[in-house]
Amino acid sequence: MELTDCMIKFDKEVCGDFAAATSLEWIETNGIGGFASGTISGANSRRYHGLLTAATKPPLGRVTTLSKFEETLIVGSERYELSSNQYPGTIHPEGFKLLAEFRLDPFPIWKYEAAGVTLEKRVFMVHGENTTVCRWKIAGEAPSDVRLELRPLLAFCDYHHLQHETSDFDFQVKTDDSVVSVAPLPKLPELPKLPGLPELFFAHNAEAVSESGFWYRNFEYAIEKERGFDYREDLFQPFVLSFDFSKPAEVIVSTEGNRCAEKAAALEKAEIKRRRELVSRSGVTGAFAKRLVLAADQFIVSRGDGKTVIAGYPWFSDWGRDTMIALPGLTLSTNRAGIARDILLEFSKHFSKGMIPNRFPDEGETAEYNTVDATLWYFEAVRAYLEKTSDFDFVRDEIYPALAESVAWHVRGTRYGIGVDTDGLLKAGVRGVQLTWMDAKIGDWVVTPRIGKPVEIQALWYNALRVMAGLADRFGDDEDKDRYEALADGARQSFNAVFWNEKEGCLFDVVDNNKRDGSVRPNQIFAVSLRHSMLSIDRARKVVDKVEKELLTPVGLRSLIRSDPAYRPIYIGSPYDRDSSYHQGTVWAWPIGAFIDAFRRVNPNGNQTSKRVKEILAGFERHLSEAGLGQISEIFDADPPHAPRGCFAQAWSVSEVLRVLVE
């Protein structure tokens, strides 16, 4: 199966516009948490941009090693700078003006034109390694007077941080015929190697290597400036590689010391084959679906001997909630059920007091459990896995005991006030802790605390109980089956008695004793969309109509109705400005999957419903060619034109669109 039909392409009109070209980002990943990313102009605009961000403790321990190459094409005696950088008050050099074309085909490919010479550059990562391959090739027969110079710019710092010229350590450079290695070492040679910073190897086929050893100062990163963070960086330039074009210029940048540049072409062929097989296995048709299958693969990474999901690039690690929500789309919709099984098994090892972790922090080994919904989404992921595979033996032997214990913990009470109340509904929350997916927190201020009984938590709890009743019945556990059904019946009766907002014709967002939060938010859609629903079809239809009328946009659901006094139309500015608007109107892509599920449930007319679903998804197809190319962003501004914000590649955004597209 060819991948050219899902290619994303830009011509000189876009490439030659610095602002436009720098707004378009690409990402390559390696399946163990590492990645390479940048913009099509070549100018880095984030601290997270770099040609090799290595996962030193997969999938975490991420270190930005190689930020970029400064590239110079030499034709005769003329030098043409292909790079672009933003410095204070200027762009230098302006290589984007020589950029005739950019393609994502299936990985990033640039085409430069200068002095009658056409040069193509391509970048991809090797799956399973902290390795990035870069290749430069002249179109047609290369003139004898054409050369290429590459100047690597190194960061060697935690990927959340920026490097600044420092005297804390030296860069030790070693050169042999075909490999240059660079290691950051402390000033005093008797001290051990700096922790967490790997040695970096440049396998190359250059005709000459010359050491340099100085700093490039004051790179400016526009998105970091916009986000209210430190936005200037210094990068170290240790050596220069010089190539003629008797053959393509090739550099393999890796934390592995055994790479050979002569293998670059074979590595490229293998990676194209791997991606082609992913699309073929999925069985999807059409450019939109194929592109999403490739996007989905970028989030699936190894954790120990198992698998997990990176929640989003460029800054998130693996989160329990995101992983369970994303699992069906990333794995089951792509016919990779074995990976779904591995993810479920891996997270089953981390149950504690009936809960799976909210996230695995970048630093340290201690998982965090501050979530009420991640565990409930685990039950739904198990249900979806069984629907796809009928692998009941695996669930009975490996998963069911943990699920049963989890229900028991929720009934008697677990962390953070999570437990079943006397009315059979699930209460949760303590002051100062954010437990639902609306989890923004600024200092000690939880922006949307939602303490009490959030609406989607009740929907998930009921769904989990019905899933468990079905499993208990299948496994011959009649006593537990009756208990789960009784708990579910009680929850349904109480839910319908206290959650219906007759005035608005929809559901309350949170009920806490006698307080009922009437904020119109997308959380209520899960009470319709989940397989096991507590609502009558009449109420379900009213919920869908309300959400469609008030919250639906071309790129997802608003997190708050526009008429609410707390509504925030734009997500931009300082961390305070952004976090305080994160769930106060900002559009989220991932709930679109639940909305479409709910819409299909209450609109069984096949042809009309399919037509409407295609209309809803059209905005996401257009979005694949903006922001993170081939990806779907985390969030968007609440007001038109709904500018993309947050992570430019988000796992649950991709997975939910792919899931409902395939279904």
- Give residue-wise pLDDT tens across range 81-108: 999 999 999 999 999 999 999 999 999 9
pLDDT at position 1, please?
Answer: 58
What tokens does 103 get?
A: 């393609």
What tokens does 589 get?
A: 């892509």
Residues 6+ apart with CB under 8 A from 631: 27, 295, 298, 313, 624, 648, 649, 650, 654
The answer, yes or no, to whether residue 219 has pLDDT greater than 70, is: yes
pLDDT at position 360, please?
Answer: 81
Share of residues in the chain with pLDDT > 90 (%): 91
In the block, tokens 């998130």 appear at 316
Crossing angle of helices 592-602 and 537-550, in 10° steps, is 130
Candidates 202, 32, 264, 207; CA nearest to 130 is 32
Who has greater pLDDT, 185 or 308?
308
Lowest-confidence range among 43-47, 603-607, 609-613, 622-626?
A: 603-607
In the block, tokens 């440049």 appear at 202
**Which helix or strand (DSSP H or E) is residue 536 part of?**
none
pLDDT at position 169, please?
Answer: 76
Query: Taking the CA of residue 448 as centre, how many other CA atoms within 13 Å lie in the half-sphere pointing to its CB?
Result: 24
- Summarised one tens digit per residue, pLDDT across range 394-412 is 999 999 999 999 999 999 9
pLDDT at position 196, please?
Answer: 74
Candidates 653, 535, 519; CA nearest to 594 is 653
| Mean pLDDT calculated for residue range 245-254 | 96
Distance of CA 5 to the CA centre of its chain: 24
Average pLDDT, the chain: 95
pLDDT at position 143, please?
Answer: 85
The answer, yes or no, to whether residue 361 has pLDDT greater than 80, is: no
Task: Label the pairing between strands 500-501 and 453-454.
Answer: unpaired
pLDDT at position 142, please?
Answer: 80
Positive or negative, the CA dihedral 43, 130, 262, 277 is negative
pLDDT at position 304, please?
Answer: 86
How far is 527 from 459, CA to CA, in rounded Å? Answer: 5
| Mean pLDDT calculated for residue range 426-442 | 94
Angle among Cα 9, 633, 99 to the nearest 5 degrees reads 30
pLDDT at position 366, please?
Answer: 81
Task: Label the pairing between strands 441-442 and 445-446.
Answer: antiparallel
What Cα–Cα distance (Å) separates residue 107 from each residue in 53, 90, 128, 584?
17, 30, 17, 36
End-to-end CA distance of the chain: 21
Lowest-confidence range among 19-28, 188-197, 363-372?
A: 188-197
How far is 621 from 291, CA to CA, in rounded Å? Answer: 9
Instruction: For residue 160, report the phi and psi dihedrals to the nearest 5 degrees.
Output: -80, -10
Cβ(254)–Cβ(264) below 8 Å: no
The residues that bridge with 244 in the sheet, in sequence order, are 147
| Mean pLDDT calculated for residue range 287-302 | 97
pLDDT at position 514, please?
Answer: 86
504, amino acid identity: E
The answer, yes or no, to whether residue 362 has pLDDT greater than 70, is: no
Cβ(343)–Cβ(323) below 8 Å: yes
How far is 253 from 264, CA to CA, in rounded Å? Answer: 11
The residues that bridge with 52 in the sheet, in sequence order, are 66
Positive or negative, the CA dihedral 583, 589, 590, 592 is positive
Residues 6+ apart with CB under 8 A from 622: 554
- Summarised one tens digit per residue, pLDDT across range 68-78 is 999 999 999 99
| Mean pLDDT calculated for residue range 624-630 | 97
Lowest-confidence range among 174-183, 189-198, 443-452, 607-616?
A: 189-198
Residues 6+ apart with CB under 8 A from 390: none
pLDDT at position 367, please?
Answer: 87
pTM (2 d.p.): 0.96
- Summarised one tens digit per residue, pLDDT across range 524-559 is 999 999 999 999 999 999 999 999 999 999 999 999
Who has greater pLDDT, 473 or 444?
473
The answer, yes or no, to whether residue 511 has pLDDT greater than 90, is: yes
In the block, tokens 């051990």 appear at 192
pLDDT at position 180, please?
Answer: 96
pLDDT at position 663, please?
Answer: 87
Number of Cβ within 10 Å of residue 59's Cβ equals 23
Candidates 36, 67, 52, 71; CA nearest to 253 is 52
| Mean pLDDT calculated for residue range 359-379 | 87
Domains of the chain, each with CATH number or no CATH: 4-273 (2.70.98), 283-662 (1.50.10.10)
Confidence of residue 363 (pLDDT cuts 50, 70, 90): low
Local structure of 204: helix, strand or coil: strand
Spell out where 105-207 has E strands.
108-114, 117-125, 131-138, 146-158, 169-175, 179-186, 200-204
The answer, yes or no, to whether residue 120 has pLDDT greater than 90, is: yes
The answer, yes or no, to whether residue 195 has pLDDT greater than 80, is: no
What tokens does 343 get?
A: 């993810």
How far is 289 from 295, CA to CA, in rounded Å? Answer: 10
Confidence of residue 190 (pLDDT cuts 50, 70, 90): low
How far is 250 from 248, CA to CA, in rounded Å? Answer: 6
Residues 6+ apart with CB under 8 A from 505: 542, 545, 546
Residues 6+ apart with CB under 8 A from 438: 447, 448, 450, 521, 523, 559, 582, 583
Candidates 359, 356, 363, 430; CA nearest to 399 is 356
Candidates 459, 582, 463; CA nearest to 510 is 459
- Summarised one tens digit per residue, pLDDT across range 206-218 is 999 999 999 999 9
Who has greater pLDDT, 462 or 140?
462
